[in-house]
Amino acid sequence: MTGAFPDFTLNDKNLDQHKEKILKQIQENKQKINKLLKQDKKTYSNFVKPYQLMHVKLSFLFSPLSNLNYVKNSPKTQEIYSSLLPVLTEYYTQLGQDERIYRVFKEIYKNEKDYLNQEQKKVLQDTIRDFELSGVSLSPENREKVKNINIKLSQLQNLFAQNILNHTDRYEMVIEDTEDLKEIPQTELEKAKIVKNGKTVYRFTLHQPSYITFMTYCPNREKREQLYKAYVTRAPENEKVLEEILSLRYEKARLLGFNNYAELSLATKMAHSPQQVIDFLKNLAEKSKPQAEQEYSQLNSFAKKLGLEGDLQAYDFAYYSEKMKKEMFEFNDEDFRPYFEKNRVIRGLFGFLNRLFKLDFEEIDVPVWHPSVSVYHIYRKGKLIGRIYLDLESREGKRDGAWMDEWVVHHEDEKGRIINPVAFIVANFSPSSKDIPSLLRPYDVETLFHEMGHALHHLLSEVKEPFVSGISGVEWDAVEFPSQFLEKFAYEPSVLKTFAYHYKTDQPLPDEMIKKLKNSKNFLSALSMLRQIEFSLFDILIHLDKYRAEDVQKILDEVRKEVSVIKPPPYNKFQWSFSHIFAGGYAAGYYSYKWAEVLSADAYFMFVDNGIYNDEIAESFYSNILSRGGSMPAGELFRRFAGREPDINALLKLSGIKTGG
């Protein structure tokens, strides 16, 4: 331990021992519950508070294991993680179905609701609702069914993710012909270079950023399609896995009294019904499609001018859009990368947060799982409030993508002490080498800002009750609000000027390039909007009934027909690797990105229109949004901050989508 914080000392060698700690904690929790239930007079302080804290203890032990499985995946982490999943799922399901605890929570709410504070009331309301969604009022037989479904689902979702990772790790495309590589940036080419049978060749994989680099810069269309096909047909065994997941979700929803899984999913979200979500998405699609069709037509004509035969296909998009962006804005992602050295970007982000929210960051030296990980303590007005781990570089055995995960939640313990929070931010930026540091693309900078927004929501909480602190208790379709809000400042000129310096010459990013970056932000934005709507609509629709794999494909085809402008080839099996909904928490909730973006766009304009560093607005955002966690409904917190309902037009305006209205 360093001060009040735990250190990360988990590795392959002590995983067995750590597993035993987790199993022991589960047993202790079970004994604790029996002890709590034997009390004569049960109150919030002697029952609900200790009930929350025993969950905190278990999460404290499991989170680092989960993190290690994602960032340093090995046969050992897979074995331990997979063996614990069913045990944990069974434990949480049994808890969620324990009528005795449910009755106590209801009794305490009835007796004490007039005396409890807002946080405590929200804990009781949310927990009573979650008990009911766990099947507490079902017959013993149906409760058992729900429990078994939950266990099976956790295993299948883990299998879905592992299948993708295994296929991604296995595949490689080795290029010998340098003609196919002539447009690939030198820094990326160096990273792809390997020696095979005494000959220098270039290896590309399905991992980010290798895949994106190849698709963006390889002039050989056949090779692009080859890599694209490998990417969109990864993990064919997931066809059966996703069918089973959908079947079990539907069965669980029906057992719990819902018509379908979409309704069950929305029971804990801001949106009230599947139809409301569908209407929201179709409204956005309708307003965005005319501009998207123009964007496609423009890109298609541009590609044909450069010699493309036939119409532009999905595997041509990154290549020609990069070229068109370069011509329109004299813009090339690679031109910016020397100005976005990872550590300097981090310092710039911290400096921005210092001006905006009065936060200070101090790098500390503590144990980490990989040498490229950096760790910081966060202070506000001289007070230590949290710790954050940044693991930002791509490597083998690390799951693709970027995310924030929590280790310790801000809360008050049984002795009245405030426990400070700890978070992880993980990404897959270009790795540093002996000669070249990690250099970020503009999109990577945006991603870092985005994940930091999630981390702030977790780390800046002032809520004392763990079940509604940080991102806990926040409706899923509002949880992206702070992250999307923060990412919008990544391209602000005044922010860029604090960190965009050439890593070799130390020269600042020229004003002309900053202008290009800002102007190009909404390049092909309507096409991008439709892509997200396609995923979101597909997700909600496949959860409206009990669908088989062939139905899923039909629904995807129909959604693409209605929404998409760039039609993927028939072999595209995007659903096989849609891990957000089949392995993450976004099932019947992928629309949340767009839903929350209405909130974030609206908030962003409040800052921009009144001067970014407006202390009054920043303090209101801090106190009403970032520090309140899930202690109140998100809609109410937004109204407290903005003084009104959110405006959908803010999102269209931010995306540069003109609706003619």
The set of catalytic residues is: 451
Integer Cα distance of 430 and 49 in angstroms: 44
Integer Cα distance of 162 and 234 in angstroms: 11
> Within 13 Å of residue 266, how many CA atoms lie on the same side as its CB?
22
| H or E stretch at 200 | strand 199-204
DSSP state, 182?
Answer: T
Q: Which residues contact 304 (CB under 8 A, 6 or more apart)?
A: none
H-only helix segments in 171-185: none
| Parallel, antiparallel or unpaired: strands 383-393 and 422-429 | parallel
**DSSP secondary structure of 386-441:** EEEEEEEE--TTS-SS-EEEEEE--EE-TTSPEEPPEEEEEEEEPPP-SSS--B--
Integer Cα distance of 108 and 178 in angstroms: 72
Integer Cα distance of 647 and 661 in angstroms: 15
* Partners of residue 61 on adjacent β-strands: none
- Cα–Cα distances in Å, from 583 out to 23, 158, 204, 400, 536? 24, 6, 26, 13, 15
Token pair 């329109």: residue? 328
Query: Are 537 and 590 contacting, i.e. CB atoms less than 8 angstroms apart?
Result: no
Integer Cα distance of 52 and 59 in angstroms: 11
Nearest CA-CA partner of 97 in 124, 129, 134? 134
| Parallel, antiparallel or unpaired: strands 374-380 and 359-364 | antiparallel
Integer Cα distance of 577 and 297 in angstroms: 29
Integer Cα distance of 633 and 610 in angstroms: 26
Q: Which residues contact 473 (CB under 8 A, 6 or more apart)?
A: 122, 123, 126, 467, 629, 630, 631
Integer Cα distance of 643 and 622 in angstroms: 15
Q: Which residues contact 357 (CB under 8 A, 6 or more apart)?
A: 380, 456, 460, 618, 622, 626
Integer Cα distance of 610 and 523 in angstroms: 26
**Joined tokens for residue 212:** 């994106």
One-letter amino acid at 135 equals G
* Partners of residue 461 on adjacent β-strands: none
- Cα–Cα distances in Å, from 59 out to 56, 486, 536? 5, 27, 30
**DSSP secondary structure of 299-361:** HHHHHHHTT--SS--GGGHHHHHHHHHHHHHS--HHHHGGG-BHHHHHHHHHHHHHHHH-EEE
Q: Which residues contact 256 (CB under 8 A, 6 or more apart)?
A: 133, 135, 138, 146, 264
DSSP state, 568?
Answer: P
Token pair 């710039």: residue? 348
Integer Cα distance of 292 and 560 in angstroms: 14
Token pair 């970032």: residue? 626
**Residues 116, 121, 123, 129, CA torsion sign:** positive
Q: In what order do the strands lie in the sheet with 173-175?
A: 173-175, 199-204, 193-196
**Joined tokens for residue 214:** 């190849």
